[in-house]
């Protein structure tokens, strides 16, 4: 049904015959086409969501959770197809596609299906009521094409909102598997709608639509600014999860082997196309040379190739444009290439970039300040803990980060001083129920868990 849109509980033909080609970045072949929806499709989807809102908002929380439970069951049955589809349209290696691209959204959906947050509370003589914000436009990126969708959609539906989804036009195919599951799960018509298309056409129409009460967007900081401006004209709520340039701080007493191995893996995850990637590794000057050598050796073990080959550890970047963007950064970098770089061998076919480690990087330089969104790690020395914090915070972004130390209290002290939305200490496990979001130009609002659900609610005080 990839030639259709999903509006008001039905697969419908788009208003235009225009389509968007979907490419396999590992082979550079076109694998499918999806509709290039237009403003009239947006109008129809928003109208369907508006018509469904009162009924869905009035549905008992237990019934909404039951609907999410049915959706989880239907989506789980498609997990193999999800992994394969993401492997095809994104180029994610199969291991990553299975565990993260398919597995993580199911974990998030399970949390919202099981969660029963309080819808009201008493504060003095006030009854504080948490109500759904209304019709939500969810605009999602290409790098985690199902996870970012489910993160928004599951929370919004659990809160009692109705949703119009615009997935990235670069990786839209996995959303069709989601909506197959939505249809099978029997969600009420209009509760969740799909309009594919470009950002300037469909995304802009959603952001500015007078019947959209909230826009939840994940993507670039530049696009986030445009969406915030469009929503501001009608004082609509926005939640923005934007770029990052996260620092991985390796203190002198850290387990250097673990810190470098995990740090390199985090920087190269999803071919470096991860907003939370620890793309700046900050290492104490006494251990800097050793860390660079270890990181270069680790990078050399990342085999590039066919995402469906179990031996592949690093797939392509998503497009020719993204590959050229990454290569342009490398061409301008004033740093020592410790591994990879522009001259490293890559497969002849596909949008591949060699896993690259840059040493002796100036903290103020472009590669230390800009989000490259490719498999590029910059390693920077520091003198002491204060210097490490200064360098880590010297960024317009503040999404994620890490600290490594044998002394957990020392690591915690550094983590508290980092101006960023999340920090992992000594490689701690990602918590999909913890609040996720950024400081500074990394965004507004939080996703995941109870904090993510709260973004899709209004709060009313009733005095009695």
CA distances from 251 to 36, 87, 363, 388, 410 (A): 50, 37, 17, 8, 9
In the residue annotation, 161 being an active-site residue is answered as: no
In the residue annotation, 275 being an active-site residue is answered as: yes
Choose, from 275, 371, 447, 455, the residue flagged as catalytic: 275
Cβ contact 356:375 at 8 Å: yes
The dihedral sign for the CA sequence 260, 261, 262, 265: positive
Which pair of structure tokens corresponds to residue 400? 């994620």
The beta strands (E) that lie in 301-444 are given as 336-339, 356-359, 376-382, 397-398, 401-404, 424-425, 439-440, 443-444
Task: For Cα atoms 400, 358, 145, give the angle at the middle one, nearest 5 degrees.
Answer: 45
The beta strands (E) that lie in 181-311 are given as 192-194, 214-218, 237-241, 247-250, 280-284
Contacts of 308 (CB under 8 A, 6+ apart): 87, 94
Choose, from 89, 201, 241, 371, the residue flagged as catalytic: 241
Task: For Cα atoms 257, 410, 277, give the angle at the middle one, nearest 5 degrees.
Answer: 50
Closest among 114, 187, 179 to 146, alpha carbons compared: 179
Residues serving a catalytic function are 241, 275
């Amino acid at each position: 049904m990839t030639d259709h849109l999903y509006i008001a509980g039905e697969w419908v033909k788009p208003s235009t015959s225009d389509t968007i080609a979907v490419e396999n970045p590992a082979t550079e072949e076109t694998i499918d086409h999806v509709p290039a929806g237009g403003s009239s499709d947006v109008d129809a989807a928003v109208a369907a969501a508006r018509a469904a809102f009162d009924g869905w908002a009035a549905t008992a929380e237990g019934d909404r959770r039951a609907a999410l439970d049915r959706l989880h069951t239907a989506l789980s049955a498609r997990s193999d197809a999800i992994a394969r589809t993401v492997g095809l349209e994104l180029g994610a290696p199969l291991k990553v596609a299975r565990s993260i691209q398919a597995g993580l959204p199911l974990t998030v959906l399970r949390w919202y299906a099981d969660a029963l947050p309080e819808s009201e509370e008493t504060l003095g003589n006030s009854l504080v009521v948490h109500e759904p914000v209304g019709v939500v436009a969810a605009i999602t990126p290409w790098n985690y094409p199902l996870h970012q969708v489910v993160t928004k959609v599951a929370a919004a539906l659990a809160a009692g909102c109705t949703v119009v989804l615009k997935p990235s036009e670069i990786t839209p195919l996995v959303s069709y598997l989601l909506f197959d599951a939505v249809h099978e799960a029997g969600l009420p018509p209009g509760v969740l709608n799909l309009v594919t298309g470009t950002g300037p056409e469909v995304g802009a129409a959603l952001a500015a639509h007078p019947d959209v009460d909230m826009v939840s967007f994940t993507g670039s900081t530049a696009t986030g600014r445009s969406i915030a401006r469009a929503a501001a004209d009608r004082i609509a709520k926005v939640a923005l999860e934007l770029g990052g340039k996260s620092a991985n701080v390796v203190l002198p007493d850290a387990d250097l082997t673990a810190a470098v191995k995990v740090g390199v893996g985090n920087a190269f995850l999803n071919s470096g196309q991860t907003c939370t990637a620890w793309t700046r590794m900050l290492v104490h000057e006494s251990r800097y040379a050793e860390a660079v050598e270890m990181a270069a050796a680790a990078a050399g073990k990342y085999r590039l190739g066919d995402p469906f080959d179990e031996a592949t550890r690093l797939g392509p970047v998503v497009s020719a444009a993204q590959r050229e963007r990454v290569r342009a950064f490398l061409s301008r970098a004033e740093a020592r290439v410790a591994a990879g770089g522009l001259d490293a061998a890559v497969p002849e076919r596909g949008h591949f970039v060699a896993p690259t480690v840059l040493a002796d990087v100036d903290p103020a330089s472009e590669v230390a300040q800009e989000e490259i969104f490719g498999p590029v790690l910059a390693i920077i020395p520091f003198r002491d803990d204060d210097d490490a914090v200064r360098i880590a915070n010297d960024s317009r972004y503040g999404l994620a980060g890490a600290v490594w130390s044998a002394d957990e209290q020392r690591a915690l002290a550094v983590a508290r001083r980092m101006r960023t939305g999340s920090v992992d200490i000594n490689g701690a496990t990602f918590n999909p129920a913890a609040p996720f979001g950024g400081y500074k130009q990394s965004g507004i609002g939080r996703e995941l868990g109870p904090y993510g659900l709260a973004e899709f609610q209004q709060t009313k005080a009733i005095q009695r």
